Structure 1
């Protein structure tokens, strides 16, 4: 990894994390990346939060909103952040990664204001640690689970998911890590319910977030992968093989909450905006189904 990362890029990827920001950094600003390890990724966010207020008109400290969100929400939260900035003019900084990774970072002190998880498990984890603002945990969207393949993978007529282990042959199945990534948890659950997990497990390559899964299948490095339906809309060079039956896995529900002691006025404004009619329209535009609380 390079010793420094230019702050002038719109987003940067570090160890499967994507850090995005929706305002321009000062010209020539550089963020030192010496400590950018998995458990210390939030240090970069903190530096971004310090730099961002100097990128435009003077703002009070704490005006920026730091959002930690599931990787599958990258485009959605980015769009929400951009629209939100047009209104009160407050900067939004977002870090995207696996929900479990982000939840652990928040537990270790990462300076997030809002957390968006691809399942309720990791929100409950933080709630059990008394790290969420009471009453702020809400559901915000739902998704589907799909099996995909590179376009060059031969198409199987009358595809039967029960034949997946046979179709894999010597190839691998890309999925999220079931221990820390919601898409992996859902994938394992669906395969177990269909009686396929035992045969498929030894052929599975488990990755740290859904975008890493997507990248592997887009490059044609695996014949099949399991991702969210919304990721299929954004993908290149892949095709839908089948959609897993809803009854084969728990409902794929995204949740959101404010982080205790970091629930600033700006954070509450963004939290409310996501739940507004306008926010719901943006969420649906990316293929999610908005959920009313």
Structure 2
């Protein structure tokens, strides 16, 4: 027994490190060996009524999630813990950045995407657990300004003169090339016939949260962001709402990754994300239930 334990500890000490710019999966067979030896206990998974038999309780999972879901997700994780669920960590960023990390092999348990195309890409690469993909909710685009602006509510249609409203400032949006919020904003402006005139005046941000902050800090007089980010950000005023007909559906998908480090715990939290308790939290933060059209 002492020889076996020494061998396992030595192997564990030789595990790969996690580097700043890339994540390296740590071999987990030493933990499995310790479990078989009775030296590590593996608790039970979460079910709607509380812990059930299986190796979930106490396991931490990592969720790669669109930046716009951060505030609501943290509340959901707190509610999950309150009913006996395990620990949940979030890596929040633009959906495009997270998808590329997954493609590069970064370890995560769940992926919550703010864009159908990026989830399709991960699905087509066979990186999702079969049957786990679920449509959670939807969002909408709004035009925002600092709360102390003199500009009042506006109708967001072809009569809107955004160039005049910007004066000599820039329009804050998430990166319109790859970040979902920016892609939707570009599509809306293209539908209104404004993109060609405004493209050079766009201030691209790494994600929608940063675009919102540019407006909040008066670094941009106007921005196009999600409704949920606008309502959760102080010192921001919503001037108008973009019709959903102007852009692709803002649909949020979640799925378990095929190579999830903690698959049982991931499945438990995925189920909780679809519970009535989680839906109520998402609704309070401004997310709306999905429509059939959101799957197009």
Q: TM-score band (shorter)?
A: 0.7 to 0.9
Structure with the largest fraction of strand: 1
Match of 2:20 in 1: 36
Number of residue equivalences: 247
Question: 2: CA distance between counterparts of 1:169 and 1:292?
Answer: 38
Question: 1: CA distance between counterparts of 2:19 and 2:106?
Answer: 14
Trace 1:1-293 onto structure 2 (pairs within 5 A). Answer: 35-37=19-21, 40=22, 42=23, 63-156=59-152, 162-262=160-260, 264-291=263-290
SS at structure 1 position matched to 2:86 = coil
Q: 2:153, 2:240 within 8 Å by CA — same for their partners in 1?
A: no
SS at structure 1 position matched to 2:161 = helix
Question: 1: CA distance between counterparts of 2:164 and 2:204?
Answer: 19
| Runs of 4 or more consecutive aligned structure 1 residues displaced over 6 Å after TM superposition | none
Question: Are residues 136 and 80 of structure 1, via their aligned partners in 2, closer, same or farther at CA, if it must alter by over 3 Å?
Answer: same
Question: 2: CA distance between counterparts of 1:218 and 1:75?
Answer: 17
Deviation at 1:237, TM superposition (A): 1.2
Q: Deviations over 1:202-228 (max 9, x none)?
A: 000111101110111110111000110
Give the unaligned 5+ runs of structure 2. Answer: 1-17, 27-39, 44-54
In the superposition, the TM-score normalised over structure 2's length comes to 0.77
Q: Which has the larger radius of gyration?
A: 2
Question: Are residues 166 and 108 of structure 1, via their aligned partners in 2, closer, same or farther at CA, if it must alter by over 3 Å?
Answer: same
Question: Are residues 114 and 160 of structure 1, via their aligned partners in 2, closer, same or farther at CA, if it must alter by over 3 Å?
Answer: closer
Give the unaligned 5+ runs of structure 1. Answer: 1-33, 47-56
Deviation at 1:166, TM superposition (A): 2.1
Question: 1: CA distance between counterparts of 2:288 and 2:155?
Answer: 27
Q: 2:143, 2:222 within 8 Å by CA — same for their partners in 1?
A: yes
Question: 1: CA distance between counterparts of 2:291 and 2:237?
Answer: 31
Question: 2: CA distance between counterparts of 1:209 and 1:59?
Answer: 38
In the superposition, the TM-score normalised over structure 1's length comes to 0.78
